[in-house]
A and B are shown apart, each in its own frame.
Chain A
Amino acid sequence: QVQLQQWGAGLLKPSETLSLTCAVYGGSFSDYYWSWIRQPPGKGLEWIGEINHSGTTNYNPSLKSRVTILVDTSKNQFSLKLSSVTAADTAVYYCARPILYTRALEYWGQGTLVTVSS
Chain B
Amino acid sequence: EIVMTQSPGTLSLSPGERATLSCRASQSVTSSYLAWYQQKPGQALRLLIYGASSRATGIPDRFSGSGSGTDFTLTISRLEPEDFAVYYCQQYGSSPRTFGQGTKVEI
Interface residues of A (CB under 8 A from B): 35, 44-47, 58-62, 94, 96, 98-99, 102-106, 108-111
Range of interface residues on chain B?
20 to 34
Of B33, B56, B99, which is within 8 A of A44 by CB? Answer: B99
Q: Are B56 and A99 in contact (CB under 8 A)?
A: yes
Q: What total count of A-B pairs have CB within 8 Å? A: 59
Q: Are B51 and A104 in contact (CB under 8 A)?
A: yes
Mask of B63-107 contacts with A, CB within 8 angstroms, 1/0: 000000000000000000000000010101001111111100000
Give A99's nearest chain B residue, CB to CB. B50
B94 to chain A, nearest CB (A): 10
Of B1, B37, B99, B102, which is within 8 A of A61 by CB? Answer: B1
22 A-B interface contacts by CB (under 8 A): A44-B99, A44-B102, A45-B88, A47-B99, A58-B96, A94-B44, A94-B45, A98-B92, A99-B47, A99-B56, A102-B33, A102-B92, A103-B97, A104-B35, A104-B47, A104-B50, A104-B56, A104-B90, A105-B35, A106-B57, A108-B44, A108-B45
